Amino acid sequence: MSSDPESDYEPCTDMPSFTAALKASKRIIAVAGAGLSAASGIPTFRGAGGLWRKYDSMGLATPEAFHANPSRVWQFYHYRREKALSAQPNPGHLALAMFSIPSIRHKIAPNSDFTLITQNVDGLSRRALDMVANTHPELADEVRSPAVQNSMLEMHGRLFDVVCTNPTCGHREHNTSSPICPALAGTERVYSSDEPEPHIDEAALPHCSRCGSLARPGVVWFGETPWYLEEIDGLVSRADMCIVVGTSSTVYPAAGYAYEVQENGGKVAVFNLERSEGDQEADYLFLGPAEVTLPKALGLQ
């Protein structure tokens, strides 16, 4: 996207214009951030009141932090797990889920491909697919097909995955237990209500179900390599429409995807609650709650 500081260009805010551009698009990607899940009650990280304004991200979301204080890190991720377990997908999640279904999408953007690249770890986008399958039985087989299931790339991992820290084991499993271990019960109040932080012995923290070693949350931490990078790079290089939803465009490599799409001649549409750095370079900009603007823009209201 243009980096000219003197530019007085403002993105188009006309919904019918975006609808026409979307209809003409063939290789569509969406890049989703924490703002997509905000309406579901999931705390954001960098916006006003974001978690990283209150807590030190380097002390909670790095391999080094976990090695130094696994008790503190597990309490933080227990809090996040409990928030996600109590949340429900919102209309923004559901709109993207519906748009990922070819029989629905081709009525909006004929003969198009679509991939959702989400930076969120809360699992709500995948749960939205399950909700669509349950509420629209006629779409269930299509929703559960590899074409739809594989069209979502969770590049920062999954909050409900638990991974063994023993490099000779490395077992990963999906675990939605609440709490994940008895010692963490109630510690979510450390982050939700500023209660004193207890120290939990390592022996009482989650452990690998196979080898018994200490386990860690299955998310991508700062300093680790996001998932699917090669696949995403290919998708971005071919995309002719990039829909950016609920992200402050400050975490790379995702922050560079919209720029690359536009540099390659594609269009960029940004859906954010408020103005953020870089969105003035977008082709289309729709401010307001994504759970309101996105279903309308995708023709799925």
Cβ-proximal residues to 68 (8 Å cutoff; 6+ apart), any chain: none
What confidence tens digit (pLDDT) does each residue in 206-255 have? 999 999 999 999 999 999 999 999 999 999 999 999 999 998 666 677 77
Strands 113-118 and 152-154: parallel
Q: What confidence score (pLDDT) does residue 191 get? A: 81
Whether the full predicted model's pTM is greater than 0.75, yes or no, is yes
- Counting DSSP H helices and E strands in the chain, the numbers are 14, 9
67 is a catalytic site residue: no
Residue 218 backbone phi and psi in degrees, to 5: -90, 45
What confidence tens digit (pLDDT) does each residue in 63-109 have? 999 999 999 999 999 999 999 999 999 999 999 999 999 999 999 99
The SS3 call for residue 201 is coil
105 and 114 in contact (C-beta within 8 Å)?
yes
From 67, 93, 156, 171, the catalytic residue:
156
What confidence tens digit (pLDDT) does each residue in 160-169 have? 999 999 999 9
235 and 208 in contact (C-beta within 8 Å)?
no
- pLDDT higher than 90, residue 2: no
Higher pLDDT, 260 or 195: 260
**Average pLDDT of the chain?**
91
